[in-house]
Chain A
């Protein structure tokens, strides 16, 4: 496992050869074809069909424990993604599963092991959906717990049936190439795309995945990777080239863009700290008081996570 004491996305990215990015066709800077337009249109349609019922889970209304457990799960998923060299969308997909699971079932009381087991099952199922090489269950390392493989399988089945066997959910990564071609044309480069990937990963920590449509997150991440100072009108003009969104979703665009912008500024203002409380697995959680709670509080109408001090949020590890 990649041990990064100060866990941040750039660690994850730098630790790799970026091949995961290139695989996604970034080298291909050709223009967007009609075929792509049709495909993206279909994707946007599909995301509303398949993802509209996953919105019930509001992190805000859950206890601090669950918020923190979710962040902890995301941290574990991202670390494990890096360890196995999974694509980012595999990790993202597993976080969608996690959020849907939490929205449809409740885990009573602080049961860290249950969240851990759930994280393993979600990532394992996502890897089976997305990856060429799927690790055996025994290869998933969870520091504090030793799960029997049958227990993981049982949890996989629970995740799958909770998803109602609808595992093919669209992630923002599906749109990245297309939107960067649409919005930035020749300005596209790997560096910007990498930044967009970081932003997408940052935002999933901030909001439940059901809060914004994947296409909205992708579009705003591409915009924000270029320019953090767009006005609402600019965002609207830029995104007018995508006809599929309805007016309601257009409002989301700017609020999501703002959220990304704030993530970005929070990150650059507090280089070591960050959006996550209790980032590293080796540190106890108390020394992460940051101004994180202010990051998101002013943005938009969407419910979102607030970050109380880490020590209140996360129980000490067993």
Chain B
């Protein structure tokens, strides 16, 4: 992979541990820090031999003394090494700093993400995202997700900040799913996810998870895509629940309340397995005592019920995970066959004369050194004693046998841009999966805090202002 230097058996012994700088770092010009979270730091760098190629280098924070290499890092890297798709972030290299045994992941860099794009439209240009861009972003997101699902990988933590979009360059406007992480890919046995393990950010969390379902299926990702689709249309999170914090995996009543208010009361008719879900039974008076009015989704997203976009959205937001649209089915939806047709460059509509929005680039903090950043870490507010590196701890490999429906095996490649060289720019997904409660976790099931937001709050200290109120990070 990559230049393979970190993997070269000989490079280990040649490594000059007396020098402060690891040898592999000589390949890069490090420009500065672009992200920070409990998982560690993300730096922007350029490859010296190819100055036009930006790279995001994610430094994993050191694991707790005595635990060795963190399981989160192991699973994340394993997964990243196995996947390859134009709409999925590309791991370019793994580096080890032998002096302190820290791990660095080098990713192709992506300048934008949906969180920033949505925020820019809402707060700066005050204008909806154009329909071509919405459709192209959604199509590519589904295309990448279909690939992951076909390979038995469930992302589990899809949210706007994890959906990257390439900036200027040959891959401009190409979506890259990032921060999916740690889990093994095949052979996933039937093992319930642990109690502390529900990881999807609460606003994008599927109702079955909120009601205590123990198993992930690919349907949880489709729910998140539905929420993201609505957010692309309205520039506002669809279900902005107040997160209950404190205990491990608490019951998120407010989030469910927000969902039921828009989609209506869930019934056993619509969702037969509903009655088996733990919280549906135990929190009877809270949920079932409440009568929610009829659905009003079209009012929230300002779409006519006859609009194919509305039809697609409502099928992604189906309560029953078994009836929820799959990524492959969504790609076949009528919405994608109508004008404007989706394209590979989501940011630049094919029709000349269409206005192109210039999104801001990521701010870079040039004051932080990539080596010797250990001293920075004690200032991390969430770095509880056992916190370990590990972004991208979100995803989980799908259960193989308990899957409620068969996975489509179709590889939808129709958007593959012909002749695009293997020059995948994308970025390590700033933020996203952190795993403060780390080590003993089942197959990459890590508690997910809103690290993205936390990180961005930190960034705002680096000169970015105007952030909307964000949910605080959950602590475990």
The reply to whether A134 and B439 contact each other, CB–CB distance below 8 Å, is yes
The contact string, 1 if C-beta is below 8 Å from chain B, for chain A 158-187, is 101110111110110110010000000000
The contact string, 1 if C-beta is below 8 Å from chain A, for chain B 1-21, is 100101101001000000000
- Please measure, in the bound complex, the distance between the C-alpha atom of A168 and the C-alpha atom of B403, giving whole angstroms: 21
Q: How far is the CB of A37 from chain B (nearest CB, A)?
A: 10
The contact string, 1 if C-beta is below 8 Å from chain B, for chain A 35-64, is 110110011001000100000000000000
Residue from the list A28, A43, A125, A164 in contact with B74, Cβ < 8 A:
A125
The reply to whether A35 and B403 contact each other, CB–CB distance below 8 Å, is yes
Stretch in A68-76, A146-154, A252-260 with 4+ CB within 8 Å of B: A146-154
8 contacts between A and B (CB under 8 A): A23-B190, A130-B443, A132-B441, A134-B67, A149-B68, A157-B101, A161-B12, A165-B94
Residue from the list A28, A50, A87, A129 in contact with B75, Cβ < 8 A:
A129
Interface residues of B (CB under 8 A from A): 1, 4, 6-7, 9, 12, 65-71, 74-75, 77-79, 81-82, 94, 96, 98, 101, 152, 184-187, 189-191, 194, 400-401, 403, 406-407, 409, 439-443
The reply on A296 being an interface residue by CB < 8 A is no
A129-B74, A132-B194 are known contacts. Are A160 and B69 too (CB-CB below 8 A)? yes
The reply to whether A128 and B189 contact each other, CB–CB distance below 8 Å, is no
The reply to whether B69 and A23 contact each other, CB–CB distance below 8 Å, is no
A153-B68, A162-B9, A174-B186 are known contacts. Are A128 and B74 too (CB-CB below 8 A)? yes
Q: Could you say which of B74, B96, B152 has the most chain A C-beta atoms within 10 Å of its C-beta?
A: B74
The reply to whether A158 and B12 contact each other, CB–CB distance below 8 Å, is yes
Q: Could you say which of A152, A160, A165, A168 has the most chain B C-beta atoms within 10 Å of its C-beta?
A: A165
Q: Closest 5 A-B residue pairs measured CB to CB?
A: A128-B71, A174-B187, A132-B442, A35-B406, A153-B68
Residues of A within 8 A of B (CB-CB), count: 51
Q: How far is the CB of B22 from chain A (nearest CB, A)?
A: 13
Interface residues of A (CB under 8 A from B): 23-25, 28, 33-36, 38-39, 42-43, 46, 50, 87, 89, 104-105, 121, 124-125, 128-130, 132-134, 136-138, 149-150, 152-154, 156-158, 160-162, 164-168, 170-171, 173-174, 177
A165-B1, A165-B78 are known contacts. Are A25 and B7 too (CB-CB below 8 A)? no
A137-B66, A157-B101, A161-B96 are known contacts. Are A130 and B184 too (CB-CB below 8 A)? yes
A134-B71, A164-B1 are known contacts. Are A104 and B409 too (CB-CB below 8 A)? no
The reply to whether A128 and B401 contact each other, CB–CB distance below 8 Å, is no
Residues in A with CB closer than 8 Å to B67 are 134, 136-137
Q: How far is the CB of A268 from chain B (nearest CB, A)?
A: 31
- Please measure, in the bound complex, the distance between the C-alpha atom of A168 and the C-alpha atom of B74, giving whole angstroms: 10
- Known interface pairs A128-B75, A160-B69, A168-B78; 5 further A-B residue pairs with C-beta atoms within 8 A, sorted by A's residue number: A23-B189, A23-B191, A43-B186, A164-B81, A165-B94
- Please measure, in the bound complex, the distance between the C-alpha atom of A23 and the C-alpha atom of B187, giving whole angstroms: 13
- Please measure, in the bound complex, the distance between the C-alpha atom of A165 and the C-alpha atom of B96, giving whole angstroms: 12
The reply to whether B187 and A170 contact each other, CB–CB distance below 8 Å, is yes
Q: Could you say which of B94, B189, B403 has the most chain A C-beta atoms within 10 Å of its C-beta?
A: B189
Residues in B with CB closer than 8 Å to A125 are 69, 74
- Please measure, in the bound complex, the distance between the C-alpha atom of A85 and the C-alpha atom of B75, giving whole angstroms: 21
The reply to whether B401 and A28 contact each other, CB–CB distance below 8 Å, is yes
